[in-house]
Amino acid sequence: MVAKKSKGWRSGKREGRSRMVQMTRHLVVSEGKETEPRYFEGVRAALGAANERKVAIVVKGTGKHTLDLLDFAVEHCRYAPETFDHVWLVYDKDDFPASDFDAMERKCDELSDGSRTFHALWSNPCFELWPLLHFRYTTAHMSASDCQHALAQEMSRDLGIEYRKNLDGLFEVVDGKRGEALQRVGRLVTYHRGLGNVMPSAQNPATKVGEIFDVIGPYLVG
């Protein structure tokens, strides 16, 4: 006599087929309206079709600074049709008050809860430090213009590409060196810790932009 297959076995098979993949939604809100959005649009494009049901990235270049940038992100989350799991705030020290710059990490921690995490991706002096670290390590105190000039030199020498603020494809041309950049960021953390530089405004040069790849890096193609 042949044993009948249980309903549990059949229903379990159907459940396995219909199991939904949980999508993680990310909002990237940047101070800059050119360089940073173009870079993160490159990150979004690198997710590839295979991961489009796993990760979604929305990029907004605002022209707003520090605390105003945070207010924009909070308001966008409040009225957006989608719910974001991670909100990444990308901003520079430049010439803005140290008190505002340093307050952002604390405010991000205060706003984060079990459903949504706010991340402060600051750079001191400017965003261009992150791509610069793909090419070389430096502890030299820099202005924003110094940093942009150094990046232009490295890209010209290493890649034969002329850097400009609205350059398309920045992510694609530097990302092959992301592992080296992350190592250099770690060295800068150790460097500033040794000097007793605790607050972000005191850490020049330093950047946290690379932290976004701790979360979305495994989903990038290539």
Please tell me the total count of domains within the chain: 1
- Name the residue range of residue 116's domain: 21-219
Average pLDDT, the chain: 90
pTM of the complete model? 0.89
Kindly state the average pLDDT of the residues 203-220. Answer: 97
- Listed as own residue / partner, the contacts of 141-149 with beta carbons closer than 8 Å and 24 or more positions apart are 141/204, 141/205, 142/204, 142/205, 144/92, 144/94, 147/205
**158 in a structural domain:** yes
Closest to 76 (Cα-Cα) out of 60, 54, 100, 56: 60
**108 in a structural domain:** yes
**14 in a structural domain:** no
**163 in a structural domain:** yes
**11 in a structural domain:** no
**15 in a structural domain:** no
Q: Is the pLDDT of residue 108 over 50?
A: yes
Closest to 192 (Cα-Cα) out of 179, 208, 178: 208
Residue 221 pLDDT class (50, 70, 90 cuts): confident
- C-beta of residue 166 within 8 angstroms of C-beta of residue 38: yes
pLDDT tens for 15-59 read 444 455 689 999 999 999 999 999 999 999 999 888 988 999 999
Residue 96 pLDDT class (50, 70, 90 cuts): confident
Strand pairing partners for 61?
30
The phi-psi region of residue 169 (left if phi > 0; otherwise alpha if psi is between -120 and 50; otherwise beta) is left
| Distance (Å) of CA 176 to CA 60, 155, 173, 221 | 25, 13, 7, 11
**6 in a structural domain:** no
**96 in a structural domain:** yes
d(CA 115, CA 85): 6
Closest to 136 (Cα-Cα) out of 121, 122, 119, 151: 151
Q: Is the pLDDT of residue 92 over 90?
A: yes
pLDDT tens for 58-74 read 999 999 989 999 999 99
